[in-house]
Amino acid sequence: MKKIITLTLATVFLFNSALKADEGMWLLPLLEKTGFPEMKKLGVRLTAEQIYSINNSSLKDAIVIFGGGCTGELVSADGLILTNHHCGYSSIQQHSSVEHDYLKDGFWAMSRSDELPTPGLRVFFLESFEDVTDSINAVTAAGISSEAERQKAIREKITEMTAKYDGLQGIRAVVSSFYTGNIYYLIVYKIYSDVRMVGAPPSSIGKFGGDTDNWMWPRHTGDFSMFRVYADRDGNPAEYSPDNVPYKPKQHLKVSIKGVQKNDYAMIMGYPGRTQRYMTSWEVDERMNITNASRIHIRGILLELMKEDMEADRKVRIQYASKHAGISNYWKNSAGMNKALKRLKIKDKKQQEERDFTAWVNANETRKEKYGEALNLIRQAVADRAEYQKISMYYNEAILNSEAVRNAAVVNSYLAAMKKDSSEDKKAETLNDLKESIESFFKNYNKPTDLKITKALFKDFIENAEAKYYPEIFAQIDSLYNGDVNKFVDNMFATSIFCDKEKMEAFLANQNYEAQAADPANQIYLSVMKKNGEARLATQSISEQYNKGRRLYESGLLEMNAGKKAMYPDANSTMRLTYGTVQDYYPADAVHYDYITTIDGVMQKEDPENLFEFEVPERLKELYKAKDYGRYAMQNGNLPVAFLSTNDITGGNSGSPVMNAKGELVGLAFDGNWEAMSGDICFEPDLQRCINVDIRYVLFIIDKYAGAKHLVDEMTIVK
């Protein structure tokens, strides 16, 4: 195995110019061997070292993981960060109230003292990226008789590798797997936790188009928000303190207001979450018919009920804005993915890949011995786990989407941590964290909404899940409530501490753990965990065979394509680079979409009957009427809003910088397009586009709309 991996590393990254230039999420340490030759052909004017360097300052030092699920970029020497509005949405919502509705009205700090501390928000800077594949392989090379033993040995080795970083202030070390366990990197991050909100447009700009326009083009959304990183006086990570100072980054991005034209070079660096480009046809079926189908159905119920209450009550709208946005995003993603998978015949393409792989394996006895069982292991595992996959979706999407039950889960996790804490001081610290978590929960909680949703979701669970998978406590629905789910849920909400702030506070004061354990919401949570645990135990051997099949399949693909086709690893929330060009596209016969949108489209989309999604602020109308766009206008005098590029992105890339050939910021990536929603599984070069907010629109909103020109002046603006 070690020889195979060594061969793979030496040959797989030879670049094949026949590969589409816009496909691929490339690993930065291997950039010079993979994508850089094609990047030079497209016009990049930087060296690979200027883009990524561990020893010297480079563009990578201006890019951060923002909040754990997005990307951000430093745009000033004083730690100013740009990211998407939807990435900052939960923070904006956290600071909002009926009296100060920043979601509706926007927020702008007119001085550093006005910037709002945001507890829980963190940014991660990449410190180092080290190939440790040989070290991992060394512990699995001999004496391993099963996949379970192999995984145990790897986990122990990873713990050993990361142990030396334990306890270091603001440092986190992880070992990430690439190509499904064929290559490993030790990655070290520096984490800053004093991050303050600086600016955000109103949702009528930052979320313009709402669910209707989500994943769609043409787009007219000013999807950005602004934050600032603070550090101690030595520049080190520190918890919030009024004595902290703006962080001085190693590098920040210059901001170009020259604009973009069709065919311009475009490059994105960020932290894409998850792709499955090497998925098999059986896994495509599973994704469509179990994972996506379940999510579409259950979240459809949830979103409809949530929206009813949000439209009826302003306070509920604020409380549930972030929740609704998060739930809706992947509800629509799943629907679009299923549609694209069918229309683009992705399953057929995967079956052809499997036939090609099988023919290559069968042409050589050594290959047959190494990889002959790979596809059969995957096929059988997917078939064997089907009913478990469905029930797992229903546990998570239906039962655990009851906020009361989910609150019980959170409290359980804190109490478990307190039991493990060795010192009274540590226990007190954990208890204080729990109190803060509870305070945050009830700030954004409406009991009548949760009651209504819980009834609907529990009914749906009973109708669609097999009885053998019902949580044990569900037996009470028949025995005590004559099968009446509504009465069962009414009783839970009447007696549970997890949906009542006063009862919860009394529990925290008295710490009556017996009452907490017997609480109906807690019993539901524990019943689900027990059933889910039984399902996991029953599928353990299936999971082991599946993991083995996936590892062998991708190892075989690497060997099969060595020297012929560059294979980038699937996204796994590690820093990647994608390059391409600014382009239009043809989504269907006789339909053409241009590469850029303007403020004209904002005005055209205004809908007084749907102000929830298509409201245009009066101030924006005034600026439009006066054509007061300043230096942010295009040569024709119009104001750009968004543009398209061929960059290969996915969730996690939200907020990523779109850079020109000089590495200057020209936009922020914020979405993919509807016609290519299958892109996480199969890249479609003719259809797949990245939707970006134009930096000129961002600067216009900050400067002209908000009157916060001091924030623009802080940036390095280039023409």
Exposure pattern of 5-15 as b/e (b: 16+ CB <10 Å)? beebbeebbeb
Q: Catalytic residue among 194, 211, 223, 680, which?
A: 223
At 320, the amino acid letter reads Y
Q: Can you tell me which residue has the tokens 């930052």?
A: 206
94 near 694, Cβ under 8 Å? no
CA distance 267 to 10: 26
Q: What's the DSSP call for residue 466?
A: -
Q: Whose CA is closest to 105, among 617, 712, 606, 610?
A: 617
State the DSSP H helix or E strand holding residue 188, giving kind and residue range, or none if neither.
strand 183-192
Here the tokens at position 156 are: 């122990």
Report in angstroms the alpha-carbon separations of 269 from 545, 635, 712, 717. 35, 28, 22, 20
Q: Catalytic residue among 85, 86, 252, 324, which?
A: 86
CA distance 321 to 433: 24
Residue 177 CB neighbour total at 10 angstroms: 17
Indicate if 101 belongs to the active site: no
Q: What's the DSSP call for residue 277?
A: T
Residue 96 CB neighbour total at 10 angstroms: 22
With 0-12 / 13-18 / 19 or more C-beta atoms within 10 angstroms meaning exposed / middle / buried, residue 164 is: exposed
Alpha-carbon torsion (548, 550, 556, 562), positive or negative: negative
CA distance 82 to 668: 8
Indicate if 654 belongs to the active site: yes
Q: Integer distance in angstroms from the first to the last C-alpha of the chain?
A: 53
Q: Catalytic residue among 654, 656, 671, 694, which?
A: 654
State the DSSP H helix or E strand holding residue 711, giving kind and residue range, or none if neither.
helix 709-714
CA distance 222 to 615: 13
CA distance 667 to 649: 14
- Residue 262, Cα to own-chain centre: how many angstroms? 29
Here the tokens at position 158 are: 């990873």
Report in angstroms the alpha-carbon separations of 24 from 15, 28, 142. 12, 12, 34
Q: Whose CA is closest to 656, among 261, 81, 36?
A: 81
Q: What's the DSSP call for residue 590?
A: T
65 near 653, Cβ under 8 Å? no
Q: Whose CA is closest to 198, among 173, 225, 177, 166?
A: 225
Indicate if 220 belongs to the active site: no
Half-sphere exposure of 259 toward its Cβ, with a 13 Å CA cutoff? Answer: 20
Give catalytic residue positions: 86, 223, 654
